[in-house]
């Protein structure tokens, strides 16, 4: 149920902004894009933490909010310092997303292996 709820929520948010006919001020698109990336990172970080049994909902919520805002602020700051700090954010967040995803994938593979072994053991027993 959790999966579907999250997916539905994400789709609702997406639909509410993507389909209506209004013009986005393109000046803000770099901020929003990096904020979105930070959001994805927080979500996948939460997934990983849950998998490791270390998940704390307040850490997740605060991490999501603070990271998105911080990422957008970093881009803003970079623009004013004349440095491409958004690259730093993109590299870091993107890298972390990959790392977390690969950890999650390994964990799932382990579980699949374990399940297969279990089935094997059962069929042997019967």
Residues 29-88 that bind another protein (CB under 8 A): 29, 32-33, 35-36, 39-40, 42-43, 46-47, 50-51, 53, 55, 57, 61, 64-65, 68
Whether 4 and 60 have beta carbons less than 8 Å apart is answered as no
Of 22-30, 74-82, 84-92, 95-103: span binding another protein (CB under 8 A):
22-30
User: Please, what's the b/e burial string for 74-100 (b: 16 or more CB within 10 A of its CB; e: otherwise)?
Assistant: bbbebeeeeeebbeebbeebeebbeeb
CB closer to another protein, 114 vs 120:
114
Following DSSP, what letter does each residue of 18-46 receive, concatenated? HSS-----GGGHHHHHHHHHHHHHHHHHH
Binding interface with another protein (CB under 8 A):
1-7, 9-18, 23-24, 26, 28-29, 32-33, 35-36, 39-40, 42-43, 46-47, 50-51, 53, 55, 57, 61, 64-65, 68
């Amino acid at each position: 149920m959790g999966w579907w709820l999250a997916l539905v929520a994400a789709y609702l948010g997406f639909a509410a902004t993507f389909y209506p006919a209004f013009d986005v001020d393109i000046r803000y698109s770099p901020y929003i894009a990096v904020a979105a990336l930070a959001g994805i990172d927080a979500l996948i970080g939460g997934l990983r933490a849950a998998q490791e049994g270390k998940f704390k909902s307040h850490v997740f919520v605060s991490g999501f909010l603070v990271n998105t805002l911080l990422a957008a602020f970093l881009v803003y700051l970079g623009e004013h310092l004349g440095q491409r700090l958004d690259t730093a954010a993109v590299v870091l967040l993107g890298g972390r997303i990959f790392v977390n995803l690969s950890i999650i994938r390994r964990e799932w593979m382990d579980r699949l292996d374990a399940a297969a072994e279990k089935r094997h053991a059962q069929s042997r027993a019967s």
